[in-house]
Amino acid sequence: MSSADQGVRHSLHRYQAVPRTLCFIAHGDDVLLLRGSPTKRIWPNKYNGVGGHVEANEDVYIAAIREMCEETGLDVSDARLRGVINIDTGEEIGIILFVFTAQARGREARPSPEGTLEWVRRDRVATLDLVEDLPELLPKVLAMRPDDPPFFARYHYDEHNRLVITFAD
């Protein structure tokens, strides 16, 4: 099958999505979170995991590893896909978010231009000013056992522009 046989040309007016990764790195009872820079376009001063866009020349696993390395400088192991989220932005283009966890081999993260990296005890995460989906998403991800299958979810916004999170059964 050639690249032309993939049918993309005939899908130009269908729903499209930008692939991104979101990664949560653990070390012992702590999880590494990124407090967004005050000048960041999205989620300034809020806590989130690390991650970013999947490039055309990489698969989502390689993208997650690359983003964790680029944004933290940490050597990680045991990277696992934990979930796939379709984010309906209400526009023609949405986001497909691939959620990963990994274990850090050490705690010495380098500074990130994206914001401030902080190791946070798992039992303290709920006290932080988190990105709006993390109060529901992060406890689910951190509670997953190594052999748990990935979850699937959909995010969309209601008529009042409030985030609605739906996990598949």
What HEC string does the chain produce? CCHHHHCCHHHCCCCEEEEEEEEEEEECCEEEEEEECCCCCCCCCCEECEEEECCCCCCHHHHHHHHHHHHHCCCEEEEEEEEEEEECCCCCEEEEEEEEEEEECCCCCCCECCEEEEEEEHHHHHHCCECCCHHHHHHHHHCCCCCCCCEEEEEEECCCCCEEEEECC
pLDDT tens digit sequence for 89-116 = 999 999 999 999 999 999 999 988 889 9
The highest-level CATH class for domain 15-167 is: alpha beta
Q: What is the pLDDT of residue 169?
A: 85
pLDDT tens digit sequence for 32-71 = 999 998 888 888 999 999 999 999 999 999 999 999 999 9
Q: What is the pLDDT of residue 5?
A: 65
pTM of full prediction above 0.95: no
Q: What is the pLDDT of residue 154?
A: 98
| Mean pLDDT score, 145-157 | 97
The answer, yes or no, to whether residue 75 has pLDDT greater than 90, is yes
